[in-house]
Structure formats: structure tokens, C-alpha cells
Structure 1
């Protein structure tokens, strides 16, 4: 007889029909039937809030305009709250939820800078369940790459290069006939520029995920190439890691021709690997004996051939939402264990310490952009 686990119940704070990420979270959470969104304070606009709840089948009595009222009324009815508001609002919400000691799933970036992490710590305990959604490591072939690195297939890793060029500040994307101009909060910078919160934390996450190592020093150049003054929209960084690995990061919102050019390249003394998000099911491998290989889910995968990564057979590419769903599946497994007082630490879910490491990196990068010197992280 099958042991069928009931779906965990979620309440969304933010993420309504005007959100950039809400619908993706909704789809990903439901994909493997491990979660069900049952309540929400989706939008400050009553009209948009109502439209979102109708579209997603949320009961009117569990649809709220005030997110704090929702937390008070739903904290004993749901298994976790999902924070999908703009990043500058996260600190207030996290402090409130942590004070209630309820499980939290938070869209990256967790908060805006290391100072906000310090302001969050008095409300945080080691028993607190927190999962920050760094979703790009949910791609099956990124996890295959991590496996290959850990098995020494590329030899001793020497270099890692990560880039995430986009064009949105120079050519706003046209989505369903509507131009998606930058949201107002994305046109303001503080200690850590918003581009680092939007794009950079993903690059940090992928580097740490693949290498199991944090960079120790960085040098960076911040630039403005757009029509929006006084904000950083292009970042180039060099990195050094304690083991001797060298790295680089490039992120941009003014790289015309790139919708989302996320790319990872890793070089060892035995081989190299390249993964490009626009071709997510393939991993390009090169070896020092001259062999070249394109590995996909139909090839000799040692990790990505698991059933959970093959909702449809190879030849039908998986994509961004499926990668997000893989992460939500991992979060569900961890949350279920947490609620049943059993120990399970997934290597694919990340919380406060990991998020803080990324913020410290980009705070050091900002110092470097001013000093024009290498800065310790």
C-alpha cells in the first residue's frame, strides 16, 4: 500500500498578478503535488488581490489585504509562509515571521545588505526553518555538473567563470504585448547595488554550490551604461578562493541581445565544463586527452538520470519552472522532516548563512569599486 504524504499548505505574502515572480512560485510549488497554496495577501491593490485569488482558486475568506492579519489568522492553519514582496520589504516581514516562529520560504535576495542581516539576527534562532529560493541550482544538469566536480572528473578545479548578462534596462522585455519596464524599487541602490541582489546572488550561489567553497577576496568595477542615473547596471568582478581557485563574475542589465545569458564555465587540470541556461539540458565537457562530449539527460548521466528530473523523456527540454519545482520539492522534503522532528538536511536548500555570504561578497565588491583594490570578504 502506498504511503501518500499530504500536500503541505502555503500562504503567499506578495506574489500577485503584478509580481515578477509570483506565478512562477505558484506553478513550481504545485508541480509535484507537494505543496498547495491555500491563502495569501497577494497585492496591496484590492482589485489585483481579488483577481489573483480568483485566478488561483483561493477562498475569499483566506484572501487578505493586510499580510500581518493573514499571519495572525493563518499561522496555525498553514505549514509555511512564502515571502514574495520586493526585497526592500523582506526585513520587516522576516522579523515578524521569525518572532512568530513559523516556517518561512523567502524569495532571494533574503535582505538588502549585511547590516539588515544583523538587524534580523535577534529574531532568528537555529531552530527556525528558513529556505531562500536560489533556483538555478535546481537544473538537473547543474546538479550533474556538481556531481562530476565532486567525483574529480575535471581534476583539480582551477578556474570558475560565471556571467548573467541581460538587456532589460536598454530593451525592456515585451511580455504578452506589454512592455515590462523596471519596477521602481529596482531603480534605487543602497550599500549593495540592486543588480547584485537581482542577479549577483544567483552567481554567488552557483559558485558556492559547485565548489563547496566561498571566495575570500574580490576586486570589482561597477558601471552605469543605462538611461537611469546613479545606479549600477553592469558589474565585473575577479575572485580568489582559499584553495587557490580563481574566478570571475559578470552581470549586466544593459547587454543588448541577452534576454538572460546565464552561463557557467568550470576549468580543472583534467577537463572543463560549460552550462548555458538557454540550452539547459546539455552540459559541454572537454578533456585534456582531446575528447569532447555533449552530455544530456539521454546520455551517461550519473545524477540527472533520476526519475525526479525526468518528468518527460529526453528530447523534451526541461526549463526554468521545472528547475524551480525541483527546489520546491527539496524544500518540501526538508519542511516535512522539520515538522516531524526528524533530521534531514538537503544539499539543495539554503538558508540565512548562505544568503549572508552572498551579501558579504557584494558588500566587499562595492568597497573594492571605491578603493580600486582587492578587498577581503
Structure 2
């Protein structure tokens, strides 16, 4: 019977990292998880320094992730880590995730899932072979209002969905920040570390996932235009796409990192036969509902959200904001509850299982392949999802 916190190891997330601290705060929020070990940097000294600041014993701070998995697997069941959180640049996702699964550890992985689609498919096979639990941190699916919208769509409140608009404008790469030594800009604009897409791989995947997650529809074709606005940048920093969905709906996706002055203005609107909804991350506690022949409504987290899944993912009383950290934490909590339930021979509830997994990751890699193929083609073409054109 597992009646304790889950023990987490980390790959990446040292004191010199950006997203590692977010992951730790999210993981610890619900008192379900504790950090017990890690390889926090490719630089052994930074890993050691980070381990001291995280109050870990010296023998649980490792110089390589290979050493960590091998040594942790040999520890008694009552000591070794239960799962690993991998928070590294894209090109260092596949190898540690695969090795963790091979050594019997569950995995939480930052998105996009891997560097290539082929790697993602191999990871899926390993997850199915081992039966271990895998979570992908598509953060925006963790917001209570997003989950409320998803449930309302599933219940047919809006009727058949016809039109979807989803956007993610940022402005932080409006100048060639990668030339200033900024580590985040450097790897995200480097094809050798980021992959074939820049903006679309980094934030376009979030927009794509959000559209599919809420509506439970799948993109079947994409017509896109990708741009590089900052001179001599190696990857796209802006783009837009028309989307066709498997129920006949059509959509528009926009993602840009050169919208000067913007922060993380994620927004989605969708419209069906009876009405539609709107959600904006800058006002995350509100879900705007629009109806044919009726006044507009505003549902609020903690007061008027009426689904079990929204309540399950809400922590604070009405009027107190639930934000980015809480959305991140919902992924970690639901992952932890699922792992614990399975360890105790219990069936996880639908609310527990509500976190992105390997199929979401594969869809993300297919989106990247398709939007890049369509977006850099001189002709205006619709490309089938998951395919490429010459």
C-alpha cells in the first residue's frame, strides 16, 4: 500500500535554468511529491551546487542522468525515486525519458515530447511495453476554466463545433536576443537543439494542443505561412495556419514571438450551432459564454463552474486567482494520484487521468512536421496532418 509522498528525481532544472523552478513549485504544491535526487545540469559543478540549495544529500546529486538512473534503480524500493521530471532543452528529451522507462521509473516530460516524431513513436512503444505512467506538461490544459469548457463541449452545450480561433502571441524575441547570451533564446532558436520549428515548436504546439484538448476534435489538414522577421534568425519567429478538423470544423491558429510588448496572451474562442465560449490566460478565472438570442454569461472559477472536473482542479475560494503555477500543479497532482492509485491496485478516476500523455506528444510532433512543411512551401497547399510535402 503506497501511503507516502511520491519521490521525484529531476534531469535539468538547476539554479541556472528557467522552467525547473516552475516544475518544482508545481510538484510540491499539493504535498503529494518530494524531491529526492537529481542531475540538474550538464555542468557537474552546477548540479552539485543546485543539489545543496535543494537540501539533497551529496550522494543523491549526480553528474549524469545515466549515473542517476543506474544508481537509483539499485536502491531499495523504500529509498529510490518513483519518477523523474525531465526539464531539459528539446534535444535532451528522448534519451533520458527512454532510459528512465527502461529502469522502471515513471516520467513527467516538458513539451514538445521529443526532437523528432520518430523518437516520440519509439517512446510510445516503450511506455506501452512497460505500463509505466507518462505525463507531458502542456500547461494550459490544467486551468479549471479550460476544463469547464472541455466538459461543456463534451456535453453538447454549444452544439456541433464549427469554428475555432486559437492564438499565442509573445514579444520576447522581437530582437535577436540569442546574440546577447540569453540561454533561453539561444537554444530555442537553434535548429540543433530546438528542432525544425522555432515559434511553432515552442508555443504553436501549446495553441494546437489547447484547441484539440477542449474540443476533443483532431486536426486533419493544415495550410500555413511561417515567417522569420528578425534578420539572420535560423528558425521561425512568427506564423499562422488554417486548420481543418475531423468533424468538418475549421479553425485559425496564430503564434508569434515578435509581437512587441506582449507577454503570454494565450486565447481560444470556439463556436458551435448553439453558442460559443472564450478563454484568455490573462483572465484565467473567467470563461465567457455566448449564446444565440441570449445574454452573454461569465462563469467564474470557484463560484459558478459547475463540473466535477473543474472542482477537482480548483484550490482557492471564488475571487482568488488560480494561475499558471496552479495549472502546472494540476498536471503533477493528477499524475501523482494516478501513479498512487495504480500502485495500490485501484482504478484511477477520470479526474485523476486528466493530464496530457504520450498521444498528445505525438500529435504535437505531427503538428510541427505538418505546419513546417506547409508553412515554408511557396505554393498555398493544404497538407494532411502528419504528412510532409517536397
Q: Deviations over 1:258-315 (max 9, x none)?
A: 1111001111121111111011111111111131112112542212796544433222
Which among 35, 38, 43 is matched to residue 37 of structure 1? 35
State the alpha-carbon separation in 2 of the partners of residues 367 and 216 from structure 1.
14
Instruction: Name 1:62's counterpart in structure 2.
Output: 60
Aligned-pair RMSD on alpha carbons? 2.4
Matched, 1:265 2:269: yes
Which among 6, 17, 20 is matched to residue 18 of structure 2? 20
Secondary structure of the structure 1 residue equivalent to 2:247:
coil
Shift of 1:189: 2.9
State the alpha-carbon separation in 1 of the partners of residues 354 and 116 from structure 2.
23
Instruction: Name 2:259's counterpart in structure 1.
Output: 255
Shift of 1:249: 0.9
Query: Which 5+ residue runs of structure 2 have no aligned equivalent?
Result: 386-390
TM-score by length of 1: 0.91
Shift of 1:123: 4.2
> Which of 179-188 and 363-372 deviates more?
179-188
Contact 2:225 2:241 in 1 (8 A): yes
Contact 1:143 1:304 in 2 (8 A): no
Contact 2:136 2:357 in 1 (8 A): yes
Task: Summarize the Cα distance change of 1:120–1:295 in structure 2 as closer, same or farther, 3 Å threshold.
Answer: closer
Which among 92, 97, 106 is matched to residue 94 of structure 1? 97
- Kindly report which structure 2 residues correspond to 1:295-314, keeping only aligned pairs within 5 A, or say none: 295-303=299-307, 308-314=312-318
TM-score by length of 2: 0.88
Which among 155, 159, 163 is matched to residue 159 of structure 1? 163
Task: Summarize the Cα distance change of 1:62–1:33 in structure 2 as closer, same or farther, 3 Å threshold.
Answer: same
Instruction: Name 1:319's counterpart in structure 2.
Output: 323
Instruction: Name 1:184's counterpart in structure 2.
Output: 186
- Kindly report which structure 2 residues correspond to 1:163-242, keeping only aligned pairs within 5 A, or say none: 163-170=167-174, 182-189=184-191, 192-242=196-246
Matched, 1:333 2:333: no
State the alpha-carbon separation in 2 of the partners of residues 319 and 332 from structure 1.
20
Secondary structure of the structure 1 residue equivalent to 2:86:
strand
State the alpha-carbon separation in 1 of the partners of residues 310 and 236 from structure 2.
41
State the alpha-carbon separation in 2 of the partners of residues 309 and 101 from structure 1.
29
State the alpha-carbon separation in 2 of the partners of residues 58 and 359 from structure 1.
35
Give the paired residue count.
371
State the alpha-carbon separation in 1 of the partners of residues 152 and 124 from structure 2.
36
Q: Deviations over 1:47-99 (max 9, x none)?
A: 42233223322222211122111111113511101111111111221232232
State the alpha-carbon separation in 2 of the partners of residues 309 and 124 from structure 1.
26
State the alpha-carbon separation in 2 of the partners of residues 185 and 90 from structure 1.
14
Query: Which 5+ residue runs of structure 1 have no aligned equivalent?
Result: none
Instruction: Name 1:284's counterpart in structure 2.
Output: 288
